[in-house]
Structure 1
Amino acid sequence: MQRRCLRALRKTCGLYGILPDSYTVTYPLSKPNQRPFTRGGFCDIWKLTDETNEKAYAVKSLRVYEKDDPIEKIRKRYCKEVIVCKRVKHENVLTIEGVASNIFEFCMVSEWMKRGNILDHVKADPTANRLELLIGVARGLDYLHRNEIVHGDLKSANILIDEGGSPRLSDFGLCSITKNIETVNASTPNSGVTYRYCAPELLETGEVAKVKNTKATNKSDVYSYSMVVVELVTGSVPFPDSTDYNIIHMVTKGKRPPKPPRFDAPGTSKAVWEVAKKCWHGTADKRPEAVQVLQCLNGIKNGGERTHGECSILGSEKLTNL
């Protein structure tokens, strides 16, 4: 019943381009400074303060341009996504507290995560256990998928670390608001799409390498997850020495990041890398579901000898022998 009511609310808000009054944050936020704190794939991120108790919040303002879809279409998609994002409640997903339409036309407000993103976190703390972090990311992704939400832009920059050191997925759903973002040429600066994390079925080559006008799926999210594994294992972005244009050609032809010579970082292993390889399969249908990834990583955590059953991703091989 609750899910049916949510769908009805989302449909109504998307039809009329409106949001319930309860979705507007009630605390007074400071007016933005001259520049945003940083930028995301689809938005500018402002660090604003509650003028009452000086608590910091992240306000993500969607970038909308004249060449994009008509503003009313964007507003309707925005309202639909806000309804979904506001209802998401999970320890590994960033909670959206509401909107601040008096400051930005299209924005979402969340608690400020001062520890930054997951890649910055492991660089600042080399002792951080990568496997524990990857399990948290997989848990959050599984939650989104079970609730029929495709992230669409999964990468380390969109995985924040909370006060307890747990990862929280952010920026899910934003890629569906401005459709034209998905078809920006690879040579175009500041586009919303991050090519290093895009599944091959979302890319195409020709005279101009670009991202297809194709919707992201659960399976393309799983591909992006494999690139997050690469980041945490190697400490750098996938294909660090390649341009976006070259990456599109390489990925569509089956090239993937090379296996590192050693697994020195805490929580990394050959078994974790094998999970990444299953997740970046060139055929979407042959990639595992997020729940299978989660189960397999938990198996690695609990002991490579697999005394409690086989990993459905890696097969019957003992994980210690990979």
Structure 2
Amino acid sequence: MSNTQIFHLTSKDRHPETADLTQFLTQSEGADTIVGPHARVYKCELHYESTTKIVAVKRIYPRGATPEDIERVDVRVRREIVVWIGLEHENIVQLLGTTEKNQDFPSIGMVSEWMENGNLWSYIKETRPLIDRLQLSMHPTISTDLSKLVHSQRVIHGDLTSANVLIDNNGRARLVDFGLSSIIAAFEGTSLMASAIGGALRFRAMELMPPLEEDPTNFDPKLTTACDIYSLGSVTLQILSGQQPYYNINDDVLVALALTQRKTPDRPDTQKLVDRNEYWDFIQKCWRKDPVTRPNAEEARDELFRLRKVVLA
């Protein structure tokens, strides 16, 4: 199924209309289900045109959401699918279609390929020796080219973490969850938002949080490509050190406080690969407080390739 076969955009409401795959999907008993703070992912079989394909069905369903919240989420999801369906690249997970909501599933589902290797972080922990992390982090599809391809598509990811970089059967990194940050941002300032942010907050650019000394009611953050570069530095830190940003702060509320104080993560106390000063310097460049002074995607790519030559020489 190609994008042109499953997608067209109505002029009336600018909502996407993808192929409704509901009748072609089955979920086997005991099949994998991944439950996160703001979404559930179901492993299903797609029976279509005499073929069977293992797929993922993702439904945005924040914990504690009211029926009104779900309705708002559904409207935002339908709009943000426009972003996803318009992206065609070998390092982006393809959207195959959607499923309709019903009494068991109150939100629309997004159908995409199932990635058996899971996300980047689980893949590194479970299948890669520590010594291979350097090689993996330097691979262009893992690091800078991920940000570069997003920016070249004129789209800001806005929620780049190791959890939404998936690894396909060929070991290639594939990006997912475009537009998710703007959907969740609809709940900014609510208790639902506090429960939904979770670990993604640790990768978030500090300028997306109101400064401690300012009135948050007048704060109007803007996503930029520099936000993705900040997150790229955080992903690089986690890959190399095995520690998430702000590893020494257990409470996400205190992480949010550190961001409002414009405090960047501490350097992990580790003798692993991140103890190389060259990498720590690169990560700190990505975390510069002034977004305009951070590397752009091309500069970040060039810097990582330079580091690869130095360290692996």
Give 5+ residue unaligned stretches, structure 1.
Answer: 1-8, 306-318
* CA displacement 1:273-296 (0-9 Å, x = unmatched): 221110111111221212221121
1:57 is the counterpart of 2:59: no
Find the aligned partners of 1:70 and 1:30 in 2 and give their Cα distance.
24
1:128 is the counterpart of 2:126: no
1:160 is the counterpart of 2:166: yes
Contact 1:100 1:108 in 2 (8 A): yes
Match of 1:223, as an amino acid?
Y
Post-superposition shift, 1:207?
Answer: 11
2:40 maps to which residue? 44
Find the aligned partners of 1:57 and 1:197 in 2 and give their Cα distance.
28
Post-superposition shift, 1:245?
Answer: 1.6
Instruction: After TM superposition, list the pairs within 5 Å mapping 1:136-285 onto structure 2.
Output: 136=141, 137-184=143-190, 188-191=194-197, 194-204=200-210, 205=212, 214-242=221-249, 243-260=251-268, 264-265=272-273, 269-285=276-292
Find the aligned partners of 1:189 and 1:123 in 2 and give their Cα distance.
26
Find the aligned partners of 1:229 and 1:121 in 2 and give their Cα distance.
15
Contact 1:118 1:161 in 2 (8 A): yes
Structure 1's 287 and 26: CA in aligned 2 closer, same or farther, altered over 3 A?
same
- Could you tell me the TM-score, scaled by structure 2's length? 0.78
Contact 2:243 2:268 in 1 (8 A): no
Find the aligned partners of 2:42 and 2:215 in 1 and give their Cα distance.
34
Post-superposition shift, 1:185?
Answer: 5.1
1:106 is the counterpart of 2:103: no
Post-superposition shift, 1:226?
Answer: 1.3
* Structure holding more helix per residue: 2
User: Which 10-residue stretch deviates more, 49-58 or 289-298?
Assistant: 49-58
1:19 maps to which residue? 16
* CA displacement 1:129-154 (0-9 Å, x = unmatched): 44543532321221111212111111
Structure 1's 179 and 255: CA in aligned 2 closer, same or farther, altered over 3 A?
closer
Find the aligned partners of 1:27 and 1:70 in 2 and give their Cα distance.
23
- Per the alignment, in what secondary structure is the counterpart of residue 240 of structure 1? coil
Post-superposition shift, 1:175?
Answer: 2.1
Find the aligned partners of 1:66 and 1:187 in 2 and give their Cα distance.
13
* CA displacement 1:171-192 (0-9 Å, x = unmatched): 1212223542333459933347
Contact 2:15 2:82 in 1 (8 A): no
1:117 maps to which residue? 119
Match of 1:59, as an amino acid?
V
2:93 maps to which residue? 94
User: Which 10-residue stretch deviates more, 85-94 or 35-44?
Assistant: 35-44
- Per the alignment, in what secondary structure is the counterpart of residue 299 of structure 1? helix
* Structure holding more strand per residue: 2
Find the aligned partners of 2:93 and 2:13 in 1 and give their Cα distance.
27
Structure 1's 69 and 26: CA in aligned 2 closer, same or farther, altered over 3 A?
closer
Find the aligned partners of 2:43 and 2:100 in 1 and give their Cα distance.
16
Question: Please, what is the CA RMSD of the aligned residues?
Answer: 3.6
Contact 2:165 2:173 in 1 (8 A): yes
Contact 2:60 2:73 in 1 (8 A): no
Contact 2:119 2:165 in 1 (8 A): yes
Contact 1:159 1:170 in 2 (8 A): yes
Find the aligned partners of 2:122 and 2:162 in 1 and give their Cα distance.
9
Post-superposition shift, 1:112?
Answer: 0.9
Give 5+ residue unaligned stretches, structure 2.
Answer: 1-7
* CA displacement 1:24-51 (0-9 Å, x = unmatched): 4488111486997123453211111225
Find the aligned partners of 1:68 and 1:299 in 2 and give their Cα distance.
51
Structure 1's 272 and 191: CA in aligned 2 closer, same or farther, altered over 3 A?
closer
* CA displacement 1:100-150 (0-9 Å, x = unmatched): 226754222111111111111111211434454353232122111121211
- Per the alignment, in what secondary structure is the counterpart of residue 149 of structure 1? coil
Contact 2:185 2:193 in 1 (8 A): no
User: Which 10-residue stretch deviates more, 169-178 or 270-279?
Assistant: 169-178
Contact 2:159 2:200 in 1 (8 A): yes
- Per the alignment, in what secondary structure is the counterpart of residue 246 of structure 1? helix
* CA displacement 1:249-269 (0-9 Å, x = unmatched): 22333332333455634x984
- Per the alignment, in what secondary structure is the counterpart of residue 132 of structure 2? coil
Post-superposition shift, 1:63?
Answer: 1.8
Candidates 287, 294, 300, aligned match of 2:294: 287
User: Which 10-residue stretch deviates more, 285-294 or 184-193?
Assistant: 184-193
